[in-house]
Structure 1
């Protein structure tokens, strides 16, 4: 597993100083619909980064301030996390190569409206141009869909509100009905302004410490599907004058028999129109499953180089002690008079983070970096041994 990037402490940091909780009552009518909030909150705001080109990013990552907008849908497929969004939200990054910012954007690990540290985010690893493998459609431009593969959460980092495409069933195009109740979610520029003046009235901040502030407000638009001549569009009930710029890549939910289902990804809206164009999400989910037919586009090239060259990797033991150093002492057995306490703490650590270790091994296998011992006695075997240890330990303590 690639060693965790070192973050250089800078005088100027883009930590947010004011957050606005979105309110279901004022933003849209909160319906009593099964699975509604879980799906809605999978929608994430994208924070784009402006960096200092004078910093050697092979050693440090330094962000100066946030800029630009965009929305994405947090998705999990097996052990990996992804952000599904519109390619035009990411177009600026396709012109850069090695030497550019290694983490040019980020999303929060939780559907929250505040954060305080770098570990509150998920960071990009690869692009997959999944729109290229969706069967060409006469009326839907799937070329504007892109998938961002994210680094796995760090030990102790918890991700909430995502769409697991192994278990969540989306609506197919054949399921679309004229008049179907639907909801569109995203982070518009209008509702999520940045402030670079510390003395602003809405989100003031200490200019000697921070470089900017912002509001975080997820827009939810009531609507329904409308069949036009050739295809379906989303028709707004409310927010008719809202400029939806910034909501591209957001989730559109359809409701069938009182159950919320993923329906589409916001593609194009206009403040002068009551209609929003979207891409049917079932087609995109299938493309995500077929992503290995494509060649990945590397975003964090330093992590990629470390992995493919199989060096500068952090051991499980190193990760455990780094994690343990950040825990309250009362939460660790190893501060107590118990000869097996350290082994028990490490056992808990390994089992709590087994998905991370399995995902890391799967990626090494993809690049042909596993030797015969790794294949015969690999991470799955390693975790099974710790599961047996825990089972025996728990039985003895009963």
Structure 2
């Protein structure tokens, strides 16, 4: 919600007026000097939207504010053009409305377009988040990163490395939305205050690593590459088993961590719907974007969301640090998921992260069944993984 400053206004006044933490208001307005506001400057208030309201007979600003537990000054701030002593029936005013319910609709077929719409909605309501493009897919779709938090500990989450695991994107975006609502409404999650996490952690989220693949599974192939993709899919128009990017390369087999071993053991020697690691490590733009981001940000820990199995993997060749074991125990405790240190699989994103950075990396296999998992599992998975999300930030 945007307001325009008046003479004598301060960001601290707005914080008290709307009961929003001052640091979130400051972070939502990075170009504004909080100690020197100018009259008429536009200020963003996070956690609120302005709703149009047509005045009815008997309405006064006092009655309207009282009914909504607002200060009259909050209404005056949004309606500086009106004369509060000369209100007329049918006149339209703006009323600040606190956002207390999620705006992300993750419990649906979560296409790239659905993700993009939800990201835009979050940017409007929670302008203290920053959205960056870290690269582009084979078909040119921007790969988005959402970033928030002010701390020095850098924690990264990602989802939908694999196309038919698209439910992970809706889950991760819903977790983010839940966290943002907790911040602006100053309400704990599972008795945990979230503002200290915001202050101590630099959070990075890539909610959809493989947009081309996700859309292929959910919407079918673009007409201009239809024949090529069907050929890779062995003549089938059923793409529910497709894990790869649109070129038929498995993005989670693309990283230089015993890639040669994975190449040797893979049954796929040419582009396929799954398990083909490519002709060399980091040939695909999506994998390159993730590697570049990880090197640039130098994350302290990373969590890659996959499906399925209700377990998570956290070791690689004995290179994982002792802290990984403590995190694994806590992740298992809060989620009920099985902790698995080693599996016979190489060239994954978390493998490479552990190998190159010697820091905790995790592959979280959410839910149980056959991919794509049904949306009937969404709520249960959300509750299971919420504990992991919080533990990854506070430990």
Question: Do both share a fold (TM > 0.5)?
Answer: no
Q: In proportion to residue count, which structure has more strand?
A: 1
Q: Which has the larger radius of gyration?
A: 2
Q: Which has the higher contact order (CA 8 A, sep 6+)?
A: 1
* TM-score computed with the length of structure 2 as normaliser: 0.25
